[in-house]
């Protein structure tokens, strides 16, 4: 089958699919660049310590907590326009980093970037389903995820190349100049992403906005989202900061490591999905958190257990493993599908779960930073290891797949994604 035939089978004609995926790929490159440089930028340029990093993450995650309310205000606006608006907001945040600012100013600019990023998150999934041919929504979502992951890899490697060439070939000694080059590059990528969305085939209708929905039967799902929100925060915030602050990992190597992790997940993510289908969401949750227990211990105590050069590589391998097993969060979505009674309830409950996830994330960030600064990284990651054990024990209380389906639950509810 030719590429053109495959394209016409998966996507609706004149739906703007090609423009959308080019925009998402470019957007993904910008995201990859931003997060590949952010942690080193905060440490190198603004000397933000572990506690302050936790508070910055608190404010970065606030837009995610208010996402439901932001989308409610924009309920008459089409998804394509919201994607443009979110990209423009992120552009304002990243270009603002070129202006000299103190720690409070930088926190505000990162929060602006995050507000735009969170606006784009849900609508890109909606658009991916809108442009799909009947019965091909899953494939379209898969292409969208692949484009984002590919963009993240390219963006991470671009930052690594900028710093590697700047320092080794051009002899740049002022790292702030290299960070400014990265921010300008991201701004131009965001501009190109916006331009790609101005296709004449983009529909002007708004999709149905998910509402906040709470039901007692989903209490275990809500608890799992609390566990995942805390686990996600430890990995995203304190994993990279451990390598940067304790082991001195420079920007180019940090960006390269993030690119390797994102690239591996392009191939390993689907394998984890197949494994979950084979052994069930309950077993994946249990085994995942057992592995996470040892990952957390190595994060916290590798420096005490091994000589410094070996400890560094132990933590690097540990970071890679942590990035891979984070894909097992899809097991929680499969559990939600099992107990939902319809597609509308599934979508609404996922929205509630995302809000709960962000609520615990914004609380865990400053609390984790305080623990690290007050008691050391061993205490922080030791606490995370204890949470992993609690999560495993909680997963044991879940019904086995097939036994927890509510009466009247349709077999045809699709497996949801999770941002």
The DSSP line for 17-79 is HHHHHHHHHHHHHHHHHHHHHHHHHHHHTT---HHHHHHHHHHHHHHHHTHHHHHHHTTTS-H
42: left (phi over 0), alpha (psi -120 to 50) or beta: alpha
- Dihedral sign computed on CA atoms, order 226, 229, 235, 240: negative
Q: Which pLDDT score, from 0 to 100, does residue 138 have?
A: 59
Mean per-residue pLDDT of the chain: 82
* Residues 228-263 pLDDT 10s: 878 777 878 888 889 998 898 998 999 999 999 888
Q: Is the pLDDT of residue 128 over 60?
A: yes
More confident residue, 340 or 94: 94
What mean pLDDT is predicted for residues 186-192?
96
Q: Is the pLDDT of residue 1 over 90?
A: no
* Cα distance between residue 302 and residue 306, in whole Å: 6
Residue 317: pLDDT band with limits 50, 70, 90: very high
Q: Is the pLDDT of residue 209 over 80?
A: no
Lookup result for tokens 């484009």: 147
**Bridge partners of residue 11, in order along the sequence:** 132
- The residue among 227, 224, 213 whose CA lies nearest residue 343 is 213
- What phi and psi, each to the nearest 5 degrees, are found at residue 397? -85, -10
Q: Is the pLDDT of residue 269 over 80?
A: no
More confident residue, 106 or 213: 106
Residue 339: pLDDT band with limits 50, 70, 90: confident
What mean pLDDT is predicted for residues 160-176?
88
Residue 204: pLDDT band with limits 50, 70, 90: low
Q: Is the pLDDT of residue 95 over 90?
A: yes
Going by C-beta distance under 8 Å and a sequence separation of 6 or more, which residues neighbour residue 232?
A: 326, 329, 357, 361
Residue 80: pLDDT band with limits 50, 70, 90: confident
3-state secondary structure of 11: strand
* Residues 372-417 pLDDT 10s: 988 888 998 988 888 888 888 888 888 777 654 443 333 333 333 3
* Cα distance between residue 129 and residue 112, in whole Å: 27
Q: Which pLDDT score, from 0 to 100, does residue 93 have?
A: 95
Total H helices, total E strands in the chain: 16, 0
* Cα distance between residue 9 and residue 130, in whole Å: 14
What mean pLDDT is predicted for residues 312-320?
92
Q: Is the pLDDT of residue 64 over 50?
A: yes
CA distances from 294 to 44, 85, 231, 283, 302 (A): 30, 42, 14, 17, 11
What percentage of the chain reaches a pLDDT higher than 90? 28
CA distances from 342 to 192, 219, 410, 415 (A): 39, 17, 6, 12
* Residues 5-14 pLDDT 10s: 666 777 777 7
Structure tokens at 203: 């529909």
Structure tokens at 287: 């085994």
- What phi and psi, each to the nearest 5 degrees, are found at residue 45? -90, -40
3-state secondary structure of 132: strand
* Cα distance between residue 297 and residue 224, in whole Å: 21
Q: What global pTM score does this model have?
A: 0.80
Going by C-beta distance under 8 Å and a sequence separation of 6 or more, which residues neighbour residue 302?
A: 311, 314, 315, 318
More confident residue, 187 or 82: 187
- The residue among 70, 68, 48 whose CA lies nearest residue 58 is 48
Q: Which pLDDT score, from 0 to 100, does residue 408 have?
A: 37
Q: Which pLDDT score, from 0 to 100, does residue 347 have?
A: 62
CA distances from 302 to 71, 82, 169, 391 (A): 44, 45, 34, 23
* Cα distance between residue 412 and residue 342, in whole Å: 9
* Cα distance between residue 125 and residue 119, in whole Å: 11
């Amino acid at each position: 089958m030719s590429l053109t035939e495959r394209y016409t089978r998966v996507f609706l004609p004149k739906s703007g699919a090609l423009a959308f995926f080019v925009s998402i790929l470019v957007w993904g490159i910008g995201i990859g660049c931003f997060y590949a440089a952010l942690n080193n930028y905060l440490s190198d340029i603004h000397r933000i310590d572990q506690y302050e990093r936790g508070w910055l993450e608190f404010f970065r995650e606030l837009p995610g907590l208010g996402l439901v309310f932001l989308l409610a205000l924009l309920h008459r606006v089409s998804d394509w326009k919201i994607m443009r608006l979110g990209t423009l907001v992120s552009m304002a945040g990243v270009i603002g980093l070129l202006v000299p600012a103190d720690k409070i100013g930088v926190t505000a600019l990162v929060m602006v970037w995050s507000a735009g990023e969170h606006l784009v998150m849900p609508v890109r999934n909606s658009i991916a389903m809108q442009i799909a041919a009947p019965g091909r929504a899953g494939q379209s979502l898969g292409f969208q995820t692949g484009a984002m992951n590919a963009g993240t890899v390219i963006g991470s490697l671009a930052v690594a190349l900028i710093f590697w060439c700047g320092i080794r070939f051009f002899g740049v000694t002022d790292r702030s100049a290299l960070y400014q080059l990265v921010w300008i590059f991201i701004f131009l990528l965001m501009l190109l992403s916006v331009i790609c969305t101005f296709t004449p085939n983009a529909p002007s209708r708004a999709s149905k906005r998910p509402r906040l929905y709470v039901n007692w039967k989903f209490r275990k799902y809500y608890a799992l989202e609390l566990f995942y929100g805390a686990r996600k925060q430890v990995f995203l915030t304190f994993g990279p900061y451990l390598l940067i602050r304790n082991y001195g990992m420079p920007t180019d190597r940090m960006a390269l490591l993030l690119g390797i992790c994102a690239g591996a997940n392009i191939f390993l993510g689907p394998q984890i999905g197949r494994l979950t289908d084979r052994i069930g969401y309950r077993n994946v949750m249990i085994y995942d958190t057992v592995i996470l227990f040892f990952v957390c211990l190595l994060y916290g105590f590798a420096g005490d257990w091994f000589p410094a050069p070996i400890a560094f590589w132990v933590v690097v391998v540990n970071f890679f493993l942590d990035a891979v097993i984070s894909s097992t969060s899809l097991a929680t979505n499969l559990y939600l599908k099992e107990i939902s009674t319809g597609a509308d309830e599934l979508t609404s409950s996922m929205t509630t779960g995302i809000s709960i996830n962000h609520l615990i994330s914004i609380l865990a960030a400053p609390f984790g930073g305080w623990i690290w600064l007050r008691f050391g990284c061993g205490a922080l990651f030791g606490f995370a290891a204890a949470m992993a054990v609690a999560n495993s024990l909680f997963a044991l209380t879940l019904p086995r797949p097939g036994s927890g389906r509510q009466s009247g639950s349709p077999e045809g509810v699709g497996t949801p994604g999770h941002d």
